[in-house]
Amino acid sequence: MTGFPLEAIEKAPLAELRKLQLQRLQWSLHHAYEHVPHTRKKFEQAGVKPEDCRTLADLPKFPFTTKADLRETYPFGMFAVPMDKIVRIHASSGTTGKPTVVGYTAKDIDTWTQVMARSIRAARSTDGTVALPTTTWTSSSSPIARAVTSSISTTATSLPSAPRR
């Protein structure tokens, strides 16, 4: 089996990985607090501010976003970026209540693409591996579907050809 080179962070010492996780968590908490009034209100109700997150162990102090939050702020109240930065919206059908809406930026889709490519590699994808996307967003018009398909294609074409059976 031909492998793919690991990214630097995948080979990093645990302390370095934890440091990166903390930096990203702190950024996310601060960004949501500053840009989503509903999140700010929930933080205030819980008695926390973003700077209260000093270690990863502090995460349980912070309220999590729930489906009820998404429904309460329907349709776009949980978006932490301006609408002109949103390139894709996914919404539930609302069969069990008010629909839930999630917006994605171009960077979100790029991040998802990278996550899928890394997941495919972690699953030991080899030349000849066949992937069949089966989720509801596999329409060819979906940027996320195209991104994942692109990741699969890039992964597959990076591998040497396998003998035909």
Q: What is the pLDDT of residues 69-82, one digit of tens each?
A: 999 999 999 999 99
- Region 123-147: what's the mean pLDDT? 63
Residues contacting residue 22 through CB under 8 Å, at least 6 positions apart: 53, 55, 56
> Cα(12)–Cα(165) distance, rounded to whole angstroms?
39
Angular region, 73: left φ>0, alpha ψ -120 to 50, beta rest: alpha
pTM of the predicted model as reported, rounded to 2 decimal places:
0.74
Q: Which of 16-25, 123-132, 138-147 has the highest mean pLDDT?
A: 16-25
The pLDDT value recorded for residue 114 is 86
- Region 57-62: what's the mean pLDDT? 97
